[in-house]
Amino acid sequence: MQIAVDRLTCDGVRGLLEAHLADMYATSPAESVHALDMQGLKHQSITFWSARENGKVLGCVALKHLAGEHGEIKSMRSAENARHRGVATALLQHLITQAKHRGYCRLIPIRINK
Protein backbone atom coordinates (compact mmCIF):
# COMPACT_ATOMS: atom_id res chain seq x y z
CA MET A 1 0.00 0.00 0.00
CA GLN A 2 1.29 3.45 -0.94
CA ILE A 3 0.08 6.64 0.73
CA ALA A 4 0.66 9.87 -1.18
CA VAL A 5 -0.69 13.38 -1.54
CA ASP A 6 -3.62 13.23 -3.90
CA ARG A 7 -4.82 16.09 -6.14
CA LEU A 8 -8.41 14.79 -6.16
CA THR A 9 -8.60 14.18 -9.89
CA CYS A 10 -9.26 10.45 -10.30
CA ASP A 11 -12.61 8.70 -10.42
CA GLY A 12 -11.62 6.26 -7.65
CA VAL A 13 -11.17 9.08 -5.16
CA ARG A 14 -14.31 10.82 -6.42
CA GLY A 15 -16.36 7.65 -5.90
CA LEU A 16 -14.93 7.11 -2.43
CA LEU A 17 -15.75 10.68 -1.38
CA GLU A 18 -19.25 10.51 -2.87
CA ALA A 19 -19.90 7.31 -0.88
CA HIS A 20 -18.51 9.03 2.23
CA LEU A 21 -20.85 12.01 1.88
CA ALA A 22 -23.85 9.80 1.07
CA ASP A 23 -23.19 7.71 4.17
CA MET A 24 -22.80 10.80 6.36
CA TYR A 25 -26.13 12.23 5.18
CA ALA A 26 -27.87 8.85 5.47
CA THR A 27 -26.78 8.28 9.07
CA SER A 28 -26.67 11.78 10.57
CA PRO A 29 -28.85 14.87 10.78
CA ALA A 30 -27.79 17.33 8.05
CA GLU A 31 -26.59 19.88 10.63
CA SER A 32 -24.22 17.25 12.07
CA VAL A 33 -22.52 16.43 8.76
CA HIS A 34 -19.13 18.13 8.70
CA ALA A 35 -17.65 16.19 5.77
CA LEU A 36 -16.33 18.25 2.87
CA ASP A 37 -17.04 17.70 -0.81
CA MET A 38 -14.25 17.51 -3.41
CA GLN A 39 -14.15 21.26 -3.90
CA GLY A 40 -13.94 21.86 -0.15
CA LEU A 41 -11.06 19.39 0.15
CA LYS A 42 -9.08 21.32 -2.48
CA HIS A 43 -8.79 24.35 -0.17
CA GLN A 44 -5.21 25.52 0.37
CA SER A 45 -5.44 24.82 4.11
CA ILE A 46 -6.04 21.10 3.46
CA THR A 47 -3.67 18.31 2.48
CA PHE A 48 -5.41 15.21 1.12
CA TRP A 49 -3.81 11.76 0.93
CA SER A 50 -5.02 8.57 -0.67
CA ALA A 51 -3.89 5.02 -0.03
CA ARG A 52 -3.54 2.86 -3.13
CA GLU A 53 -2.57 -0.64 -4.06
CA ASN A 54 -1.94 -1.60 -7.66
CA GLY A 55 -3.55 1.68 -8.75
CA LYS A 56 -6.79 1.08 -6.82
CA VAL A 57 -7.91 3.55 -4.15
CA LEU A 58 -8.15 1.85 -0.76
CA GLY A 59 -8.86 4.88 1.40
CA CYS A 60 -8.24 8.53 2.12
CA VAL A 61 -7.63 11.07 4.86
CA ALA A 62 -7.13 14.81 4.97
CA LEU A 63 -5.50 17.26 7.36
CA LYS A 64 -6.74 20.81 7.67
CA HIS A 65 -4.43 23.45 9.09
CA LEU A 66 -6.18 25.49 11.74
CA ALA A 67 -4.65 28.39 13.66
CA GLY A 68 -1.09 28.10 14.94
CA GLU A 69 -0.07 24.58 15.90
CA HIS A 70 -3.45 22.93 15.43
CA GLY A 71 -4.87 20.70 12.74
CA GLU A 72 -8.15 18.92 12.09
CA ILE A 73 -8.60 15.42 10.71
CA LYS A 74 -10.98 15.43 7.72
CA SER A 75 -12.60 12.91 5.36
CA MET A 76 -11.11 9.67 6.65
CA ARG A 77 -12.62 6.76 4.75
CA SER A 78 -11.76 3.20 3.71
CA ALA A 79 -13.23 1.68 0.56
CA GLU A 80 -15.77 -1.07 1.24
CA ASN A 81 -13.56 -3.71 -0.37
CA ALA A 82 -10.54 -2.59 1.69
CA ARG A 83 -12.09 -2.81 5.15
CA HIS A 84 -10.35 -4.85 7.86
CA ARG A 85 -7.00 -4.62 6.08
CA GLY A 86 -5.38 -1.92 8.22
CA VAL A 87 -5.97 0.89 5.72
CA ALA A 88 -7.50 3.28 8.28
CA THR A 89 -4.72 2.56 10.77
CA ALA A 90 -2.03 3.23 8.16
CA LEU A 91 -3.72 6.46 7.04
CA LEU A 92 -4.12 7.72 10.60
CA GLN A 93 -0.51 6.91 11.45
CA HIS A 94 0.61 8.72 8.30
CA LEU A 95 -1.49 11.77 9.18
CA ILE A 96 -0.12 11.88 12.76
CA THR A 97 3.45 11.67 11.45
CA GLN A 98 2.78 14.52 9.03
CA ALA A 99 1.19 16.60 11.81
CA LYS A 100 4.28 16.09 13.99
CA HIS A 101 6.55 17.17 11.10
CA ARG A 102 4.47 20.35 10.82
CA GLY A 103 4.92 21.03 14.52
CA TYR A 104 1.27 20.56 15.44
CA CYS A 105 0.65 20.05 19.13
CA ARG A 106 -3.08 19.37 18.79
CA LEU A 107 -5.23 17.44 16.33
CA ILE A 108 -8.99 17.83 16.42
CA PRO A 109 -10.49 14.41 15.68
CA ILE A 110 -13.13 13.50 13.17
CA ARG A 111 -16.64 13.89 14.48
CA ILE A 112 -18.18 10.44 14.62
CA ASN A 113 -21.92 10.47 14.00
CA LYS A 114 -24.00 7.55 15.19
pLDDT of residue 114: 39
pLDDT of residue 54: 94
Average pLDDT, the chain: 91
Q: Is the pLDDT of residue 111 over 60?
A: no
Q: Residue 42: which residues within 8 A CB-CB, separation 6 or more?
A: 8, 48
* Run of H or E including 100: helix 87-101
10-38 confidence digits (pLDDT tens): 888 999 999 988 988 899 888 888 888 88
Domains and CATH numbers, the chain: 2-108 (3.40.630.30)
pTM (two decimals): 0.88
pLDDT of residue 88: 95
